[in-house]
Amino acid sequence: MSTQLVKLTEERIGNNNQLQKFVQQARTIANVVFPETLPFSDKYCRLGAEIVTVNPNDDKQVYQNESGGYCLHLSKLNEIAKAAKIRVVGSRILERKVDETGRVTFISHEVTVQYRTVSGEMIKESYTGKYDYFNDAATKSEKQTKSRRKHAEALAESNALTRAFNKVLPQLPQSFNKKDFDKPFLIPYVEEDKNALLSEFSPEEQKSIKKELARQKLGIVDTIYQSGSPANNSRQVEEAVVTEEVTEAPKTETPPNEDPGFISETYREAPQNERTEKILQLIELKKFQDPKGTPFTQARIEQSPLDSQIKFIKKLLEMPDAEEALPI
């Protein structure tokens, strides 16, 4: 990895003049997923860059679409989203339809993502993805159609996640040629300049704040706030909610056999109540029973280690829905 590329990741951009200079320098050595202008209005917010590489010979990272171009698997999109500090904070089924035998024919799934902008806003947006059995039956082979139907919920969710990541990062192409991957990708993210924030305080206050932060990290105190909640002491942010719906397949094609492991990983940073809800939802959907007959309760789930919960979500997603086990 070139020294010049590493130096670019050390830069912190605070205005459009710096941004344009950065983009011009970076284009010669990287795929730049940066806009050319941004509404810099918060003096404490800075734009940074993280490097993500793509191996076109690894079929776990990319796949070829029907036009012969290359698309990124959800696993690689998820890596890019993490680099951009995009967090998945919600995931739920909006609608589920079945036929007369109880087999799934349609699922609408919504995911909610959250990220910070250079104007200081914390944005929350929701995007919808779908699984449509009848569309599959009309456009795909019988084998593909059956395979996709077994993992209908995972496909609808991955469809929504793909849509979300592509919308939040509009400069990221949805199709590539193989040569595009010769250069790494520079992914933008926003962070608060803590040094700039500290500079607003007197030297004595800075020492006190740093001391309290150190005490907090050491676990000596629960919080650096002496009264009230952190929300009352922080700068007010505006939250915008946007809903995007996918009517058919999105521009980026979701591969037919997306690994549920990457979907389960999106719940690692989700609140515990959302993980619990997802697990209970999947247990009901798959009609999963503990071999020992022990019931799955909220307390049982939440007492399990985080890694165990993520592995369990993956296991449940990989199972066919209960009604799909019925004979045709």
Q: How confident is the model at residue 24 (pLDDT cuts 50, 70, 90)?
A: very high
Question: pLDDT category, 93, cuts 50, 70, 90?
Answer: very high
Per-residue confidence (pLDDT) for residue 221, from 0 to 100:
53
In this prediction, residues 173-178 reach a mean pLDDT of 93
Residue closest to 190 by CA, chosen among 85, 70, 265, 305: 85
Q: What is the pLDDT at residue 225?
A: 44
Q: Percent helix, strand, coil in the chain (nearest 5)?
A: 40, 20, 40
- Exposure b/e, 80-102, CB count within 10 A at least 16 = b: bbbbbbbbbbebbeeebeeeeee
Summarize the confidence of residues 120-141 as an average pLDDT: 94
Confidence band, pLDDT 50/70/90 cuts, at residue 197? confident
pLDDT score, position 48: 94
Label residue 254 by pLDDT band (50, 70, 90): very low
* Confidence category of residue 65, pLDDT binned at 50, 70, 90: confident
> Residue 287 — very low, low, confident or very high, per pLDDT cuts 50/70/90?
confident
User: b/e per residue, 119-131, with b = 16+ CB within 10 A?
Assistant: ebbebbbbbbbbb
Q: What proportion of the chain, given as a percentage, has pLDDT over 70?
A: 85
Residue 241 has pLDDT above 60, yes or no: no
pLDDT of 55 over the 90 cut: yes
Round to whole Å and give the CA distance between 190 and 168. Answer: 13
Give the SS3 label for residue 323.
helix
Residue 322: pLDDT band by 50, 70, 90 thresholds? low
Residue 2 pLDDT: 79
Higher pLDDT, 234 or 173: 173
Task: Answer yes or no: are the C-beta atoms of 12 and 195 closer than 8 Å.
Answer: no
Across the chain, mean pLDDT equals: 83
For residues 184 and 61, is the Cβ–Cβ distance under 8 A?
no
Distance CA 105, CA 99 (A): 6
Nearest residue to 253 (alpha-carbon basis) of 63, 102, 111: 63
The mean pLDDT value for 130-141 works out to: 94
Which of the two residues, 198 and 132, has the higher pLDDT score?
132
Q: What separation, in Å, do the N-terminal and C-terminal C-alpha atoms of the chain show?
A: 54
51/11 Cα distance (integer angstroms): 13
Q: What integer is the mean pLDDT of 11-29?
A: 93
List the domain boundaries for the chain: 197-228, 267-328
Q: What are phi and psi of 315, to 5 degrees?
A: -60, -45
pLDDT category at 270 given cuts 50, 70, 90 is confident
Residues present in the chain in total: 328
Between the alpha carbon of residue 89 and those of residues 126, 161, 282, the distances in Å are 10, 11, 18
- Asked whether residue 250 carries a pLDDT value surpassing 80, the answer given is no
